[in-house]
């Protein structure tokens, strides 16, 4: 399996622009997670999906952030409008099922820079 | 509230020697899982080792082993025969347990293996 795939790997944009990050989970995984990593706050869970349905979005910082999962093999995280404080590395991860110990497999991340 | 604490921001070890990274956590759950993830300069988050809280036996994966002390809520990672490729940021993580697979991460320990 190719693992979790994220695109783009790097994104540089200007404040106010819309940014869309993409993720393809491992085939057969029922859960998909979006994380944000910054120096100040470390790794934070933003939202996660189960069978394409958002389960917990309590980590989404504000209304400028939205996430969708239209099918089992694709998810997007959108920021509109983007701000410099959104600069971070965004990770997507996926796992098999409901059990608490199911390992999450991470993608390579997208480094977002908002100027 | 559930928390994960890594009190060593940075550590250094000579190649071929052994090093132990500390992690403590706090939870009121009885059923939970603990993880160590490695993040090398490539930024990819890689699972190193996983421990089920209900198992008394410490998990081992080749040169990596844990010392799980449930009563003390301690979960340290021992790396034996350190190699240059072990240089990375190491994150301790705990899942919330029960019917959820959300992870909470510590702040990380930057390990440098010196030649």
| Confidence class for position A99, pLDDT limits 50, 70, 90 | low
pLDDT at B103: 87
Which member of B50, B105, B108 has the closest CB to residue A101?
Answer: B50
Which member of A33, A89, A105 has the closest CB to residue B43?
Answer: A89
Measure in Å the smallest separation between the Cα of A39 and chain B Cα atoms: 9
Output the six-digit token pair for B102: 């959300």
Q: Which residues in chain A have Cβ-Cβ distances shorter than 8 Å to B42?
A: 108
CB pairs under 8 A between A and B: 56
The residue of B6, B45, B48, B61 whose CB has the most chain A CBs within 10 angstroms, and thus the best one to mutate to test that interface, is B45
Which member of A42, A48, A100 has the closest CB to residue B105?
Answer: A42
Q: Which residues of A58-92 are buried (b: 16+ CB within 10 A; e: fewer)?
A: ebbeeeebebebeebeebebebeebeeebbbbbbb
pLDDT at A6: 97
Residue range A28-53: mean pLDDT, rounded: 92
Residue range B22-45: mean pLDDT, rounded: 91
Q: Give per-residue pLDDT as tens, B65-85.
A: 999 999 999 999 999 999 999
């Amino acid at each position: 399996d190719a693992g979790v795939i994220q695109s783009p790997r790097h994104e540089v944009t200007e404040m106010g622009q819309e940014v869309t990050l993409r993720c393809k989970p491992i085939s057969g995984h029922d859960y998909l997670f979006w994380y944000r990593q910054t120096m100040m706050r470390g790794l934070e869970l933003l939202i996660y999906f189960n069978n394409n349905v958002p389960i917990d979005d309590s980590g989404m910082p504000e209304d400028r952030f939205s996430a969708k999962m239209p099918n089992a093999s694709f998810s997007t995280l959108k920021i509109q409008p983007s701000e410099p404080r959104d600069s971070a590395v965004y990770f997507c991860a996926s796992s098999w099922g409901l059990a608490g110990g199911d390992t999450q497999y991470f993608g390579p991340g997208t480094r977002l820079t908002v100027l | 509230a559930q928390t994960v604490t890594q009190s060593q921001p940075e550590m250094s070890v000579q190649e071929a020697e052994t090093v132990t990274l500390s992690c403590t956590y706090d939870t009121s759950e009885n059923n939970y899982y603990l993880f160590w993830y490695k993040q090398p300069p490539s930024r990819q988050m890689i699972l190193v080792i996983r421990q089920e809280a209900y198992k008394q036996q410490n998990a081992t994966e080749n040169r990596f082993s844990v010392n799980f002390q449930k009563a003390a809520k301690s979960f340290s990672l021992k790396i034996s025969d350190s190699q240059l490729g072990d240089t990375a940021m190491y994150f301790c993580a705990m899942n919330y347990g029960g019917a959820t697979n959300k992870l909470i991460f510590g702040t990380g320990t930057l390990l440098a293996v010196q030649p």
